[in-house]
Structure 1
Amino acid sequence: MGVPALFRWLSKKYPKIIYPVEEEEEIKVPDEDGNNITIPVNMSQSNPNGIEFDNLYLDMNGIVHPCTHPEGKPAPETEEEMMIEVFKYTERVVNMIRPRKLLFMAIDGVAPRAKMNQQRSRRFRSAQEAKDKEEARKESVAIWECAFYFYLCVHALPDFL
């Protein structure tokens, strides 16, 4: 579980922590057969952003989830495709920062059974509450319709007759 609104608070309190990043692209060179060979970014060179970093700490949940449930394109079909997407994105972030001493990747394990049961019961409870709310709404509409017809019968019909 993350800390709600932590990033917003940090970026408002310390606005200089956010700045644009210049990314170096991989170089594609044709070989003898006309196929493209990709030459990766040379991480030993200095950072193109002008700032050198010693450490990079990654919470892999922030990488794995967007790679497995991407917006604007279909999700990877196989586990292998999913892993390739995670590796590509991780490599992209590391190439942007180019840590010189430490790359720390925090990876969660499997959720405990109790948490999975709690999430499942929460989903069922919210579905049941939505159903109950819809039934209550329909009942309220029916009561208002009856009240309206009763009003018409009491007030409008005597004038009509």
Structure 2
Amino acid sequence: MGVPSFYRWLVEKYPAIVSPAHEHSSNGGVIYHNLYLDMNGIIHPCFHPEDQICPPTTLEEVFHSMFEYMDRLFRIVRPTNLLYLAVGQWRRSSRQDEPAAIQALQISPRPPKTPSVQEMDENLLRDRFRAEGKEVFPRDASSSEVSDPNVITPGTEFMEKLSDALKYYIRSRLSTDPLWKDIKVILSDANVPGEGEHKIMSFIRAQRGREGYDPNTRHCLYGLDADLIMLALASHEIHFSILREVCVCVGILETSK
């Protein structure tokens, strides 16, 4: 969950913490070892983009858009050691002292979709035609694949297809892209409980506790929520950057400055 207006306030007060990032730039000579992608910040914009005249109509188009964007992020950061993909999952709370409103939100992250008047009229007509023995053509499957954003919820068929698509993407890039040579890739899909950013931070904390961990490891985390800034600071890593869109550009926020 984000912190409204926090990012804007922060960069207006401390503009020097943001530096532009481009695919063909060297990021000021900074070499990042690990890149973490909070996939929810990629899935939703690719599923229902707000700035496209012709939005995707099939899951194949959604996945293709995701792959292109992930490729772009990878080329910007160019990690040398690790790529971590984290797909968020809402979990059922087991703590009795947690506020009831938060528990309800975690159990049912999205309200049930209410059919529109047009959909209700169409359903009534379809039922009437079937009762009269008339042929009823199926709805256009290509348009229905991405018409309901509620499918972006753990346990749905879409999330299973997403997991398979990400596995295909990883295998494809590891076998064909020279930039992926010697890169370790970890996929934490929706079958693993927890929100994406918290799974990433748990992984980082676990690595810190391992023998031989290099404290000079440079981390770069992509995500759209402003609370990532606090999570990065709380990690106590001395080299931690956040990659996110700034208007039409992509910028790197250096949290360790």
Q: Give the structure-1-normalised TM-score.
A: 0.50
Greater helix fraction, Structure 1 or Structure 2: 1
Q: Which structure is richer in relative contact order (CA contacts within 8 A, separation 6 or more)?
A: 2
Compare CA radii of gyration and give the structure with the larger one.
Answer: 1
